[in-house]
Amino acid sequence: MTDLINQIRNDFPALHQEVNGKPLVYLDNGATTHKPNAVIDAISDYYRTDNSNVHRGAHTLSDRATQRFEDARKTVQAFLNAAKAEEIVWTRGTTESINIVANTWARQNVKAGDQILVTAMEHHSNIVPWQMLCEQTGAELIPIPVSAAGELDMAAFAELLNERVKLVSVVHVSNALGTINPVAEIIEKAHAVGAKVLLDGAQAVAHWDIDVQALDADFYAFSGHKLFGPTGIGVLYGKEALLNAMPPYQGGGEMIEHVSFGKTTYNSLPYKFEAGTPNIAGAIGLAAAIEYLNGLDRVALAAHEDTLLARSVELAEQLGGIQAVGTAANKASVFSFLLEGAHPADVGTLLDQQGIAVRTGHHCAMPIMDQFCIPGTVRASYTFYNTLEDVETLFRGLEKAKMFLL
């Protein structure tokens, strides 16, 4: 496995640099992942050879750009196992994908007295759009409780379900805790009372294959930059019938079929949700990232990530003075913690001085931090290009930080 990981690391140029005079140890993959050469080259090639706007073109460059752009959509369709390419809508990222659902489907289907369920561990992007909707409609936003270990209280969830619940919008994997939520069970129970389900898959797609049809998800959202692709590109998957019934999110070019001052008719799926010139290079880059992943043994790499997390837990126990935050039995490779007696920001600064990149703060998940009565955490988020030596370096860095701060 060591040889394979080293070979993979060679595909990621940003990993091979020094920070503050030390070899970079990049453990902030939950915030954004680095990009392999295949992605960088695909984006560069588009701008060097095929740079043109897509659709309606009357020349070769536009035809080539359109082909690559729509092929990228088919690549995402296969990646999620969506039934049709028309169910894949390009967005700027998970946040915009959620806002599209909140401002289209939800505005049509959620009214005063209705309820929306989220979890107490949600990212702000899966809280604030629903709060805004509820303020404007008179609906109620209700959090599903989370245990001290960071696990969803499924008994409480079952009790909250009733005919007033119109939508359950939950994170597939918690960015702050690493908890993997039982989304198949959540979807089944929600559908039993007639509620739709949106899954925030931003932290899930980089770790294992997603099958939206097997899950029976109504909506699934993710961001390209957390999947080894470029920033500024994301995906909203929605079931065809739901998307067809939803009004457009924005008006402008591309999302129309015919415009007159008397009446405008809208384009077919997925274009009615893609107003204006899209992020063509982003879509092409995201497709390249997925194709790169398709060439890897993702099952073996997921097992490697589990090993990294397990080693972190071992070393934390050996070092002492580490409070793990989020100890769910079913976790992705996120080690979120506090160094007792030290502020997370101070720990992060001292680690950075040693070339170790982690994330500190509330991770856009203030409600769960408030529940745990902490200001935030230090978060080391691993992916397959991280090594056991990276983990060892982290804890050597923490040992130095502990000596300095305590």
- Catalytic residues, which ones? 364
CA distance linking residue 361 with residue 379, whole number of Å? 8
Nearest CA-CA partner of 31 in 395, 361, 396 = 361
CA distance linking residue 142 with residue 287, whole number of Å? 36
Asked if residues 18 and 24 have their Cβ atoms less than 8 Å apart, the reply is yes
Nearest CA-CA partner of 176 in 311, 344, 386, 392 = 344
CA distance linking residue 355 with residue 285, whole number of Å? 28
C-alpha angle 215-333-170 in degrees, rounded to nearest 5: 35
Q: Which residues are CB-neighbours of 357 under 8 A, at least 6 positions away?
A: 19, 24, 25, 26, 27, 28, 351
Contacts 24+ apart (CB under 8 A), 13-18: 13/37, 13/40, 15/385, 18/355
